[in-house]
Every structure is written in structure tokens, then in C-alpha cells.
Amino acid sequence: MIPDRGVDFYITGTEIVEVHFPNGDLACQWCPFCKRKTFRGNTRVICVKTYEPLNEIYETRRGDDCPLAIQEVDT
């Protein structure tokens, strides 16, 4: 008879990453989750957290689905 190989318990890990935007420029181009790939002359830019396509906006603003919680800074 085959022994039961069920899972008794899980251990959960959490990752916390701080993303720094220079001079308050909240654009995807500064984020480590913004990735570019060129294939056969076509460049595709996506957020690897949300898989949102960012080709049109990555240099000017954040994506609509951006999961980052932005802290307000008094200047």
C-alpha cells in the first residue's frame, strides 16, 4: 500500500522590498520590478509583480495596477 504523502503544515515567508524613486519621480523606470525584454527587434516592458504591460508609460508614471504603497514625504 502507498503511504499517505499529504502536507502536515506550511511555513510562510514574506519579502519586503523598498523601492526608491529619485527626486520623487514616481515612474516605473526606477522600480526593480519593471523589466524590459527585446525579442526580434520588439521591446516589451512589463511589471513582474502584476504582469501589466508598461511600454507606453514606464518613463512617465506608475502603472495602474502598481501594488506599491507610497509614503508621503514632507519637503
Query: Over the stretch 4-53, which tens digit does the pLDDT of each residue have?
Result: 788 889 999 998 999 999 998 999 999 999 999 999 999 999 999 999 99
pLDDT over 70 at 2, yes or no: no
**Distance set, CA 25 to CA 41, 61, 66, 74, 75 (Å):** 29, 8, 15, 15, 14
User: What pTM was computed for the model?
Assistant: 0.72
In the prediction, which pLDDT does 72 show? 80
Look up residue 65 and give its amino acid: D
